[in-house]
Amino acid sequence: MRDSDVQTIAFTCVCIHTELVRFIELERIHFFMDIRLVPFSEQDYDELIGWSGDLPFLMQWAGPIFRHPLTTEQLVEYTQGANDIQTSDKLNYRVLAATNQGIGHVSIGSIDRENRSARISKVLVGEPEFRDKGVGKAIIKAALAICFGELGLHRVTLGVFDFNGPAIAAYKHVGFSVDGVLRDARKVGNTYWNLVEMSILEDEWRALQKDGKQI
């Protein structure tokens, strides 16, 4: 075999390998968007505790309801009275990938059936390999489908710290608007964090479905 033939074969193999890696990466990104929400239960406690992180990270995704370190006792209290879609004032969910692997968490709380409102909180992509892939946005879309599609709510709110620019951009992308900023709303260590309050109304959400922007 001539040297030129060997070089040609080697070049072809490199190109095929490059395209294969690119294909796999594209498929993974598509796969990451295929998530679903299932009720959070006591079997999921250890998983969430493992993701909970240090004090600043815990505050960032969970707010002040949990104390660091996160414990089973706190999660028992957190799940009491939850997940009856007809009567509960909070619905806690484990986020699953298409393979049924647990990858995150989200909660729909402060459900007010008279005023038809609720608050999305505890949005967490727990598995590092699934972060920065649009999974958080997919979680919010799935939660909004429950809020407006199943619960028949009129208004949904959430809070996000003002330094979390990517999350704010993601929430705006799925239809949330900024209502205002609560200055120095949370004290973490010796630092105060500003909380951005956001909301979306049912007509705004339904318009996005009609326009195909929330698929």
Distance of alpha carbon 156 from alpha carbon 85, whole angstroms:
16
Tokens linked to 206: 């339904």
Tokens linked to 209: 């479905």
Distance of alpha carbon 102 from alpha carbon 36, whole angstroms:
10
Strands 117-125 and 102-112: antiparallel
The residue to which tokens 């705004």 are assigned: 204
User: pTM of the entire structure?
Assistant: 0.84
What residue type is assigned to position 58 of the chain? L
Each residue's pLDDT expressed in tens, for the chain with a length of 215 residues: 555 454 444 444 434 343 433 333 333 333 336 899 999 999 999 999 999 999 999 999 999 999 999 999 999 999 999 999 999 999 999 999 999 999 999 999 999 999 999 999 999 999 999 999 999 999 999 999 999 999 999 999 999 999 999 999 999 999 999 999 999 999 999 999 999 999 999 999 999 998 876 54
Contact 82, 91 (CB under 8 A): yes
Distance of alpha carbon 215 from alpha carbon 62, whole angstroms:
27
Q: Which of 93, 79, 153, 149 is nearest to 121 (CA)?
A: 93
* pLDDT one-digit tens code per residue, 18-70: 343 333 333 333 333 689 999 999 999 999 999 999 999 999 999 999 999 99
Distance of alpha carbon 158 from alpha carbon 178, whole angstroms:
10
Question: At a CB cut-off of 8 Å and minimum separation 6, what does 183 contact?
Answer: 192, 194
Q: Which helix (H) or strand (E) holds 194?
A: strand 191-201
Contact 185, 197 (CB under 8 A): no
pLDDT at 129: 95
What is the rounded radius of gyration, in angstroms, for the C-alpha atoms of the chain? 21
